[in-house]
Amino acid sequence: MNEFELINHVRSLNETLGSRVVLPPGDDLGGLGFGPGVVVLAGVDQVIGGVHLPVDASPERYARKVICRSLSDVAAMAALPAGALVTAAVPVGLSADWGPRFADALNRIATQYDCPVFGGDVAAFANSAAPPLVTATVLASPDDSMSGRFLTRSGAQPGDEIWVSGFLGGSLRSDGSGHHETFEPRVGLALAIHRLIGESLHSMIDLSDGLVSDVGHLAVESGVKMTLESDSLPRRGAATPAEALSDGEDYELCFTVDPSVELPDCLDEIPLVRIGSVHSGAGVVILEDGVEVDFSSRGWEHRT
Amino acid sequence: MNEFELINHVRSLNETLGSRVVLPPGDDLGGLGFGPGVVVLAGVDQVIGGVHLPVDASPERYARKVICRSLSDVAAMAALPAGALVTAAVPVGLSADWGPRFADALNRIATQYDCPVFGGDVAAFANSAAPPLVTATVLASPDDSMSGRFLTRSGAQPGDEIWVSGFLGGSLRSDGSGHHETFEPRVGLALAIHRLIGESLHSMIDLSDGLVSDVGHLAVESGVKMTLESDSLPRRGAATPAEALSDGEDYELCFTVDPSVELPDCLDEIPLVRIGSVHSGAGVVILEDGVEVDFSSRGWEHRT
């Protein structure tokens, strides 16, 4: 059973969750009701040495990445960060200053994004060969501008335009200078877009798995076909169109909007670009010079 | 820097957290304000193969333990579970049914305790020698009976009696039959005690590190001296008094109450026993036949 099958299995249990769960597993954050009119959104992400960072990356790199990954999920819902809980499991024998350096870095980053770390847990692996593993749970509030609705993956409609923020591809340099370690979670931008166009913003996701894969989530959840124009993709540095389509960890916003709204080509100094359109049907289609291409035959595979 | 020094370092950052954090790190759960009168309590716990469970324990054992550990923290605050987020990191090559079995077990346990799993994250260790590591974040609500106060570790007062629920010691059998894998989180009991005696319930903690260690937390947080009468300890099975004092993972409640209240010796069919008293001063003192003993010379060491 691969990751997608497991997620589908988890979602098959959604109907058992009861009415307190106002947003079940399947979106960037889940939502829980806390009395009349109060919804708390929350999500959790992991950063594992050897998977998301080099095993021997500094505690500051672990701290930044785990908080910013979770904040990117908050951005995807156009929500406001409220606070975070963090865990760290580190192999026995790791240097004594790893913990305090991690804590100090967390505090700096969390302060910067107004997302205080208000709890957590620390433990040591008995196994000295295990890599550091850190998690961040972020709690968030729906923005008042949402008026009780949620900005999810399931709102895309045929006719919508597909947009992205920033640039895509080539994020995964492992020396600490790669975009996947320097990105700014698009919390402020997501709120700005929503406040600008309101309910014309139909669906949103943050790009972590790679554009085609994440747009595929929008297509599945919304029950639509998504067409991407590979010539339109804003590429990061020397990234090829194929890399912009498939590389992971862009941590940009991908969203669909009513075609009647006009979006600026830059908001909060971040470029916004139209990259495709939404249609009746299913799946993700790539157009190159207006011609549909078989992306899978170009060597792309889903990163699981 | 050991675990306690790290925790103290983290707590030295508490003053930077801002007013949204109504209960900072240092208690069983943290607390975050979500608008007027709404506080969300939350905490996170880890279960690591080779540390908290045998590496090859079944996914059902990982699921039960991680949820129940977090619920024990909810009990310690006499709070109501609202929902949970769960992560799992498993080594590549683990059997394909681990994930769905883990998800199914989580769902069963969470339903039993009315604490639906409304989100999470799954990842694979690149390193096949790494043990499974799972976490559970639990969100909770203060019980209405709290009337805006929190039941913390810092409320013990000189003159208080110290009580525990259930039995202590000998929890850590590794074959799956040990109490640390079969315990019932004392969520209902904690609420029942609070609803019975209200503000006469001064402080509470759940016993995870071991009685002396956890009572030490109450002593430090409350600025008092705690005296334990080793002859009074309710011992589990063949546990010795030393084991009842020092073994970890009892997951029972330890709490202090105003001496004027009368507690029943059983509530919700769970025994309650007075085991000591609170005094001015600092530290934890053990009495054996009324005589103070030097516990450290009996081979006890703090488990970190």
Name which of B83, B111, B130 is nearest A32 (Cβ-Cβ): B83
Whether A91 has a pLDDT exceeding 50, the answer reads: yes
ipTM of the complex model: 0.93
Residue A270 is predicted with a pLDDT of: 97
- Joined tokens for residue A155: 């709102």
pLDDT per position as a tens digit, A92-149:
888 889 999 999 999 999 999 999 999 999 998 888 889 999 999 999 999 888 888 8
d(CA A164, CA A247): 15
d(CA A303, CA A10): 20
CA distances (Å), origin A188, targets A75, A85, A140, A265, B127: 7, 21, 13, 16, 36
Q: Which residue's structure tokens are 């309101």?
A: A198
Chain A residues within an 8 Å CB radius of B21:
83, 116, 118
Residue A299 is predicted with a pLDDT of: 42
Q: Which residue's structure tokens are 């003993």?
A: B293
Angstroms from A85 CA to nearest CA on chain B: 7
The answer to whether A89 contacts B120, with C-beta atoms less than 8 Å apart, is no
Angstroms from B159 CA to nearest CA on chain A: 31
pLDDT per position as a tens digit, B230-274:
999 999 998 999 999 999 999 999 999 999 999 999 999 999 999
Residue A296 is predicted with a pLDDT of: 63
Instruction: Look at chain B and count its residues.
Output: 304
> How sure is the predictor about B174, in pLDDT bands with cuts at 50, 70 and 90?
confident
Chain B residues within an 8 Å CB radius of A100:
1, 6, 9
Beta bridge partners of B287: B229, B292
Residue B106 is predicted with a pLDDT of: 95
d(CA B37, CA A36): 12
Chain A residues within an 8 Å CB radius of B20:
82-83, 116
Residue A1 is predicted with a pLDDT of: 62
Average pLDDT over residues B196-200: 95
Domains of chain B with bracketed CATH: 3-142 (3.30.1330.10), 161-298 (3.90.650.10)
Q: Which residue's structure tokens are 């260690």?
A: B213
Output the pTM of the full model. Answer: 0.94
CA distances (Å), origin A103, targets A73, A116, A181, B89: 22, 12, 18, 22
Question: What percent of chain B clears pLDDT 90, i.e. is strictly above it?
Answer: 76
- Joined tokens for residue B182: 């079969």
Residue B1 is predicted with a pLDDT of: 62
State the CB neighbour count (10 A cutoff) for residue B110.
26
- Joined tokens for residue B50: 């080779």
Q: Is the dihedral of CA A202, A245, A3, B123 positive or negative?
A: negative
| Helix, strand, coil shares, percent, chain B, to 5 | 30, 30, 40
Pairing state of beta strands B270-279 and B266-267? antiparallel
